């Protein structure tokens, strides 16, 4: 249960140690196993771990589970320990495996070790050896067990409780178990607000039940005290102030007190005003009336409790429905160009553009090739866009890229119509500043003739495009987005902030393609939008052509 990862960095060799027992631990060591950093420091009798110390393993058991011999079980013949406990201490086997060994052999694990016969010990040894051999050799019969919790076992270990389903391999079983656990945890996190409300209501119900029991007990004690007054009468007592009367009250958890000249009978913190000059029968009547009031309060609390229970039931049902609506999607491997702004032109040419200064720089430095054309807006605050393999690109594609360059510039945020973009050849772009000058990050020098293309409108489209078995979002000029999209939304400047626009587009897409739209995270919707406010002009189905590869 210890793993070592050896790797190199900074010209040196390091070892990362993972301990998978107890609370777990992660340690970083140098090549001499001196500890450089660790998750948990340890200082116990048999082991000390800390920065600067040499890494040591915990003391191992005397028996090697992977190389068992029958003689290893000789100690079991003489031990005063219960057989199952000896197994846990000596072999370090998990409880489930220990229980399985005794279940398979038909031997009671609670028997003292030295009371087992040689035949029984041999049977235990052979069973343990077979289990270990099957596990390490890959001779698995994998099952997933869903009981109080979900777990995967490489072998069927005796009689298993709960829902037991087979798995094709231990790795597949682990994948299923961890996936279900991660999804359950994720749904729990997303519905934590609802869970908190449910817990509050459950606490309220418990408090109301406690209040009902308290009032019931108080009513009973008051009734008992009232009945005790008739006991006094039968004994010839005529006044509540009589000493014997006080003793009888005490036997019924009650007492007579005087506070500021007012006589009170105190029963379980309840103070009941009485007239000591009245007859015992009259005082008993006062107590019976108070007991009735207490009983009446029970009905009121019960009614409130029932309302709370209905509220809880309704909220639990609503929360369960909300959890069902939480979607889980598998993380897909993204295309390299998805880190930038991108779309395919109507003619099928890939176009990529910068999102910020860093990606602007990356687009040009990493992806500008000799057959490309590079675009920039005739405005401060414009991204660079590259039309890939565009040596013979039609005017349609050139115009679409110019349009996108303007729309993703500051012109969108400012609502500046009539801005132009220009394109140049790759060899006109200089990646370093002229001597004595400075270029900000994401900026480049353009030399030679610039070819301008005016963009008359500011209009983009957000679309869902199918690529292989996945659906992805992109944003670009309306014509190409419509061509390749399952559904798309046309947007213009002004209106809602980016997050609100993204939410609204997702809602509108859900009306057309609910499952597809819901499976795309809201962050992806925000990510494709131009910086600034946007308004939705229309939403409709696209031509849904297959995206060119």
Residuewise pLDDT in 10s, the chain (549 residues): 899 999 998 889 999 999 998 889 999 999 999 999 999 999 988 899 999 999 999 887 667 788 888 888 888 888 998 988 888 788 877 788 888 899 899 999 889 989 999 999 999 999 999 998 998 898 999 999 998 888 899 998 878 888 899 999 999 999 999 988 888 777 666 555 667 788 888 999 999 999 999 888 888 888 988 898 888 888 888 888 888 888 888 888 888 988 888 898 988 778 899 998 888 889 899 989 988 888 888 888 999 999 999 888 887 877 776 666 566 666 778 899 999 999 999 999 999 999 998 899 999 999 999 999 999 999 998 999 999 999 899 999 999 999 999 999 999 999 999 999 999 999 999 877 776 677 777 678 889 999 999 998 999 999 999 988 889 999 999 999 999 999 999 999 999 999 999 999 999 999 999 889 988 989 999 999 999 999 999 999 999 754 444
Query: Is 492 within 8 Å of 537 (Cβ atoms)?
Result: yes
Query: Is 478 within 8 Å of 460 (Cβ atoms)?
Result: yes
Element containing residue 293 per DSSP (H, E): helix 280-325
Assign 341 to helix, strand or coil: strand
The predicted model scores a pTM of: 0.52
Query: Is 352 within 8 Å of 373 (Cβ atoms)?
Result: no
Give the residue among 368, 365, 421 at the shortest CA–CA distance from 398. Answer: 421
Pairing of strands 2-9, 12-19: antiparallel
Q: Per residue in 71-84, is it b (16+ CB within 10 Å) or e — as a string?
A: ebbeebeebebebb
Centre a 10 Å sphere on the Cβ of residue 115 and count the other Cβ atoms it contains. Answer: 11
DSSP per-residue letters across 175-244 = HHHHHHHHHHHHHHHHTHHHHHHHHHHHHHHHHHHHHHHHHHHHHHHHHHHHHHHHHHHHTT---TTSHH
Q: How far is residue 155's CA from residue 175's CA, in Å, rounded to a whole number?
A: 16
Q: Which residues pair with 373 in a beta bridge?
A: 387
Assign 434 to helix, strand or coil: coil
- Can you say whether the dihedral through the CA atoms of 249, 255, 256, 262 is positive or negative? negative
Residue 367: DSSP 8-state: H
Residues written for the chain: 549
Q: How far is residue 1's CA from residue 92's CA, in Å, rounded to a whole number?
A: 11
Tokens standing for residue 507? 């809602």
**Sequence-ordered list of residues with C-beta below 8 angstroms from that of 261, at least 6 positions apart, any chain:** none
- Can you say whether the dihedral through the CA atoms of 489, 492, 497, 498 is positive or negative? positive
Task: Give start and end residues of each alpha helix (H) in 330-409.
Answer: 357-367, 395-407
The domain segmentation of the chain, as residue ranges, is: 2-49, 65-185, 200-310, 336-454, 460-541
Q: How far is residue 171's CA from residue 282's CA, in Å, rounded to a whole number?
A: 81
Q: Does residue 44 come out as left (phi exceeding 0), alpha (psi in the -120 to 50 range) or beta?
A: beta
Q: Which CATH architecture has domain 65-185?
A: Orthogonal Bundle (1.10)
């Amino acid at each position: 249960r210890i793993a070592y990862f050896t790797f190199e960095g900074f010209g040196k060799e390091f070892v990362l140690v993972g301990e998978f027992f107890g609370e777990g631990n992660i340690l970083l060591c140098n090549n001499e196993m001196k500890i450089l950093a660790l998750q948990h420091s340890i200082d116990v009798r048999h082991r000390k771990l800390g920065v600067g110390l040499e890494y040591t393993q915990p003391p191992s058991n005397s028996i090697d589970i992977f190389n068992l011999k029958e003689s290893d079980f000789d100690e079991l013949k003489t031990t005063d320990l219960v057989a199952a406990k000896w197994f846990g201490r000596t072999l370090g086997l998990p409880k489930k495996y220990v229980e399985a060994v005794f279940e398979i052999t038909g031997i009671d694990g609670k028997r003292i070790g030295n009371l087992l016969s040689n035949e029984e010990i041999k049977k235990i040894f052979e069973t343990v050896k077979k289990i270990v051999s099957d596990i390490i050799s890959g001779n698995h019969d994998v099952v997933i067990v869903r009981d109080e919790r979900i777990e995967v076992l490489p072998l069927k270990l005796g009689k298993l409780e709960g829902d037991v389903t087979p798995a094709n391999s231990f790795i597949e079983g682990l994948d299923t178990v961890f996936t279900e656990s991660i999804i359950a945890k994720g749904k729990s996190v997303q519905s934590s607000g609802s869970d908190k409300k449910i817990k509050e209501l459950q606490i309220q119900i418990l408090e109301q039940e406690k209040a009902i029991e308290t009032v019931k007990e108080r009513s009973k004690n008051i009734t008992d005290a009232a009945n005790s007054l008739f006991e006094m009468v039968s004994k010839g007592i005529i006044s509540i102030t009589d000493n014997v009367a006080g003793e009888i009250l005490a036997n019924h958890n009650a007492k007579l007190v005087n506070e500021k000249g007012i006589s009170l009978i105190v029963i379980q913190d309840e103070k009941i005003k009485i007239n000591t000059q009245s007859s015992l029968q009259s005082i008993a009547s006062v107590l019976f009336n108070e007991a009735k009031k207490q009983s009446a309060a029970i009905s009121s609390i019960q009614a409130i409790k029932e309302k709370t229970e209905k509220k809880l039931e309704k909220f639990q049902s609503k929360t369960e429905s909300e959890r069902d609506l939480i979607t889980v999607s598998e993380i897909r491997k993204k295309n390299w160009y998805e880190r930038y702004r991108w779309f395919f032109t109507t003619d099928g040419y890939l176009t990529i553009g910068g999102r910020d200064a860093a990606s602007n720089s990356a687009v040009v430095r990493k992806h500008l090739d000799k057959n490309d054309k590079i675009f920039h807006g005739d405005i401060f605050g414009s991204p660079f866009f590259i039309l890939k393999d565009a040596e013979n690109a039609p005017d349609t594609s050139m115009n679409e890229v110019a349009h996108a360059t303007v729309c993703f510039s500051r012109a969108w945020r400012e609502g500046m119509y009539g801005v132009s973009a220009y394109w140049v050849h790759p060899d006109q772009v200089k990646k370093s500043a002229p001597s004595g000058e400075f270029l900000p990050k994401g900026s480049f020098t353009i030399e030679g003739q610039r070819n301008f293309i005016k963009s008359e409108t500011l209009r983009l489209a957000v679309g869902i495009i199918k690529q292989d078995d996945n659906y992805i979002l992109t944003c670009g000029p309306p014509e190409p987005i419509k061509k390749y999209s399952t559904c798309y939304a046309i947007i213009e400047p002004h209106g809602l902030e980016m997050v609100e626009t993204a939410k609204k587009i997702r809602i509108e897409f859900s009306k057309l393609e609910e499952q597809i739209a819901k499976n795309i995270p809201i962050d992806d919707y925000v990510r494709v939008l131009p910086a600034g406010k946007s308004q939705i002009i229309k939403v409709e189905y696209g031509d849904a052509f297959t995206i060119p590869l």
